[in-house]
Structure 1
Amino acid sequence: MNELLNSDSKSDKELYLAYLIPTFIAVFIKATLMSIDTVFIGQGIGPLGLAAVGMTMPVNAVFSSISVFIGIGGAALMSIQFGKNHFPKGQAIFEQSLFFLFLISFLAALAIFIFNGEIANTLGADGELNLLIKDYLAFMALFYVGHSIVLLLTFFTMNDGNPKLPMYSMIVGIVVCLVADYLLIFVFEMGIKGAAIASVLTQFAMISVLISHFILRKGALTLNRVVVKFNHIPSIFKTGIPALLIELSATVTISVFNYILINEYSESHVAAFSLIINLTVIVLLVFGGISQASQPLFSYSLGHNQFERIKGVLKLVACSTAALGVLLFALGYWAANSIVDFYVQGEKEFLDIAVIAVSLFALSIPFIGFNLAISSFLQAVKSTILASSISVLRGFVFLLLGLFLVTNLGIENGIWKVTLFAEAITFVFSIYFLFFYLRKTNRLHN
């Protein structure tokens, strides 16, 4: 069990790459999956379809928040227990995480299915956009349950020493998504409903692959008869708080931006922001791939008291984040026109707005990468207060301050500069928190 993590014969770089390569392949496939879905909606339904999907993103973000909260919190704790050779306790953490997440996501999805009309009204949409959102939410309720389980199984599978399986599940997912999207949107002309159904089919195809890890006993974790206990839930919550705040910050960002754009700007701005949301999720996926690859190493090494390995992997994470940050910035800034044209066809007003939005968003990408990397590291080593502080600063304090300044000072294209403002200032605090933790750790172990 966990033979890969428990290998003292491998260097830090070899272990890191053993997790990073399959994780990045999975991330690339998932980003491709999301791009395909967005392209099908943009080309097959149009800017109004993109706006409908963008305005429902807060709902999706809530489910992702809960999934990441429980999934990362539980998986990190499980990995620490496995590092201490406490396998039954690690199994119990997995079982409680899975049962609790399924219960919460099922009840929340049921509420969305029943009250989709009220939710569409609350999101501030009217007319045709309101109708599209109601149709989309009614079918997406089942997607939210499936996606929640996919995220949790991914985290636990990787922490159980099987980083390649999530990659295989993504490959199956992209095939199902391609076929289903094409048939339902273009052949059967089901519009936004077809896009939602394709998303549902994709998630359950991925679950069928991930669950094989536990059925075939590829690691220490198994799917046993569920014993309803919640004694580990408080510890899972405590460990998962930073991840929850990261996800909730996305919910706040999307909700506040949508409110301002729909009230102060135009539907073209709302549609452009929907494109920015998609690009943001892809960027978060890429940098999240680094976090997913390194988190099992950090947590297991902490449980095993391998502090030199923790520092070695941290240096590799910093190099990876810097390289990807520069690459994605260059791509987004200098290829903004091509990116917009790839995703959607629209009138000149919309295209001009979208190009400006993408160009300005690209400037924030390196800062996003480092803020997420440092926050994820601090969470993996159970320094939850510092990790949570980064999430609060970037997702709430400086974001809302930036929006306040933009709406009151009338800065040109200011709405698209808020993310850069929030991430750049948070970066300064992130660096300080990281060195504070490292100095404290060095004093304890020297």
Structure 2
Amino acid sequence: MNQTNSILRTFIKYVSANILGMVGLSCYILADTFFIARGVGADGLTALNLAIPAYSFVNGLGLMIGIGGATRYSIAGGRGDKTVRKTIFTQAFCFMLCLAAVFFLIGLFLPYQLAGLLGADSTILSLTGVYLRILLLFAPMFMMNNLLIAFVRNDGRPQLSMTAMLLGSFANIVLDYILIFPLQLGMAGAALATGIAPVISMLVLSRHFIRKENNFSFCRTGIHFKSIRDICSLGVSSLIVEVSSGVVMIIFNMLILKDSGNLGVAAYGILANIALVLISIFTGISQGIQPVLSSCFGKKEHGNIKKVLRYALVTSGLFALFSYGCMFFFSDPIVELFNKDKDVALHAIAVQGMHIYFTAFLFIGINIITAAYFSSIDRPGNAFLISCLRGFLLVIPLAFILSALFGLTGIWLTVPAAEALVTMVVLFLLCRSR
């Protein structure tokens, strides 16, 4: 087999597994959105949308530690650095536990105060607070799951990581139905289903350790702040993307509340949660190429690095065109899936937003994949810049400017405009890196 076929097969193996797995992972919140829309109604949708930024922050920190640690693990393997390869998992795990404990305590003692800070008014404060309390109590599970998924994938088992994510997501869907409808637990049921899902995922991942297929494990080592900093630098772009999506959601919620009230926020909740699933495709591609790129970088296989990047960009471009076509032509039936009360105003707002908002996909894939590319080849500065630009440096000012000029239409235009500007920066960085 020639080298081109070999690297193409490796690309397909890792990317296909990670796309399926990330779609499954993203369905955690989408399943909540669908069942809450059907079982609780528009108030539940609004409460969920206000709570999602907290989930984004928890998930983002888990991804930062998991992807950052696993990236260093792969680079060390390519270079033959046995010391780093042996200790990096323990360092990452201890760091994750410290951060998870903070979220657990907030969920235990301050969920309603946090709900108020996120914009919940008296109508939906109780719904938002209940969801946040349970979600944050399960924060250690979410973060540990992200860590294990990344390390198992980079340990040569992308299919097992995919299976774990898919089964966790399937369990979430089944539990959502059982807890919201037959057991009538409402928002608490949705949060419980979402929290139990990563536990199911980790049970699947445990196979990697039970069969002793793992090349990483716990070892006796102190906390090395240089290692923690190294993990953060390689994974921070994932954190920025997740956290900024939460910050942007808070800003959008605030602007939409002012323009269109709770109904507008409910419509945005539909768009944002569908977008989470579609963006997970691009994230799956980027996380799929990460171990391949890091290994090639450690072995100095520069030709293969270029091929993997090209395959990833072509794949994301084709998916972007397909997904936007689906969102444009099938927007009416998609919105109705989440419109329990057949609210005509909600339908009109969501459909108009869908046609504008999802043009961002034409640029998002390029930006996400390029950020992952730079992080995987140990250029965290470029990855950090791309993530910050598409995360909040452009989106937040554009949101205020465009909403002031065009109202709700301006808010829908914000993300496409920001992502298009970031793509211009990305092309410059790629040309310069050559």
After TM superposition, the score normalised by the length of structure 1 is: 0.92
2:154 to 151, 156, 159: 159
C-alpha separation in 2, matches of 1:340 and 1:83: 47
Give the drift of 1:280: 2.2
Is residue 282 from structure 1 mapped to residue 277 from structure 2 by the alignment?
A: yes
Distance of aligned partners of 1:152 and 1:15 in 2 relative to their CA distance in 1, 3 Å threshold: same
**In structure 2, how many angstroms separate the alpha carbons of the residues matched to 1:228 and 1:275?**
46
What residue is the counterpart of 1:268 in the other structure?
263
Aligned to 2:112: 117
Q: Which amino acid aligns with 1:267?
A: N
Contact 1:161–1:219, Cα closer than 8 Å, also in 2: no
- 1:68 maps to a residue whose letter is L
What secondary structure does 1:434 align onto?
helix
Give the aligned CA root-mean-square deviation in angstroms: 1.9
| Equivalent-residue separation in structure 2 for 1:56 and 1:412 (angstroms) | 22
- When residues 182 and 9 of structure 1 are mapped into structure 2, their CA distance, relative to the original with a 3 A threshold, is same
Q: 1:87 to 1:360 in 2, by over 3 A?
A: same
Whichever residue aligns with residue 116 of structure 1, its letter is P
> Which residue in 2 is equivalent to 1:394?
390
Aligned mates of 1:174, 1:370 — CA distance in 2: 27
TM-score normalised by L of structure 2:
0.95
Alignment of 1:327-346 (within 5 A): 327-346=322-341
Aligned to 2:297: 302
Which of 182, 192, 207 does residue 212 from structure 1 map onto? Answer: 207
Residue 416 (structure 1) aligns with? 412
User: How many angstroms does 1:343 deviate by?
Assistant: 2.7
Q: Which whole-Å deviations, capped at 9, do the CAs of 1:126-172 have from their partners, x for residues lacking one? A: 12311101111121123322111111111111111110112221332
Cα separation, 1, equivalents of 2:349 and 2:368:
28
After superposition, the Cα gap between the structure-2 partners of 1:109 and 1:15, relative to the gap in structure 1 and judged at 3 Å, is same
- C-alpha displacement of 1:332: 1.2
Q: Which residue in the other structure is 2:223 paired with?
A: 229
Cα contact 1:63–1:144 (8 A) shared by 2: yes
Report what 1:76 is aligned to. Answer: 71
- Residue identity (%): 27
Deviations 1:323-342 (A, max 9, x none): 11111111112211121112
> Unaligned 5+ residue runs, structure 1?
1-6, 440-446
CA distance 1:266–1:180, shift in 2 (3 Å) = same
The reply to whether residue 200 of structure 1 matches residue 195 of structure 2 is: yes
CA distance, structure 1, for counterparts of residue 259 and residue 224 of structure 2: 46
Once the two structures are TM-superposed, the CA of residue 265 in structure 1 deviates from its matched residue by: 2.5
Q: 2:425 aligns with which of 424, 429, 435?
A: 429
Residue 9 of structure 1: how far off its partner (Å): 9.4
Letter in 2 for 1:209: V
Write the distance in 1 (CA, Å) between the matches of 2:432 and 2:220: 42
2:43 aligned with 1:59: no
Shift of 1:36: 2.9
Deviation by residue 1:278-328 (Cα, 9 ceiling, x = unmatched): 122112211001011100011111111111110111111111111111111
CA distance in 2, matches of 1:302, 1:210: 27
Give the counterpart letter for 1:356 in structure 2: Q
Asked if the contact 1:39–1:344 (Cα under 8 Å) also holds between the matched residues in 2, the reply is: no
Task: Look up the match of 1:108.
Answer: 103
* Secondary structure in structure 2 of the residue aligned to 1:39: helix
Alpha-carbon offset, residue 226 of structure 1: 5.7
Equivalent position SS for 1:426: helix
- Match of 2:269, SS? helix
**1:363 to partner: Cα distance:** 0.8
Deviations 1:53-78 (A, max 9, x none): 11011111111221122111111111
Compared CA separation, residues 427 and 342, structure 1 to 2 (3 A): same
- For residue 102 of structure 1, report the CA deviation from its aligned partner: 1.9
In 2: Cα distance, 1:262 partner to 1:211 partner: 44
Match of 1:358 among 348, 354, 365: 354
Moved more, 206-215 or 11-20: 206-215
Residues 135 and 192 of structure 2 are in contact (CA less than 8 Å); yes or no, is this contact kept in structure 1? yes
Q: Is the 8 A contact 2:28 2:194 kept in 1?
A: no
Matched-pair contact (CA < 8 Å) for 2:356–2:413: yes
| AA matched with 2:224 | F
Alignment match, 1:444: none
8 Å Cα contact 1:40/1:185 also seen in 2: yes
> Does the C-alpha gap of structure 1 residues 9 and 218 become closer, same or farther in structure 2, counting only changes over 3 Å?
farther
**What corresponds to 1:95 in structure 2?**
90
**Number of residue pairs the alignment of both structures matches:** 431
User: Any gaps of 5 or more consecutive residues in structure 2?
Assistant: none
**How much does 1:34 deviate?**
4.1
Contact 2:107 2:137 in 1 (8 A): no
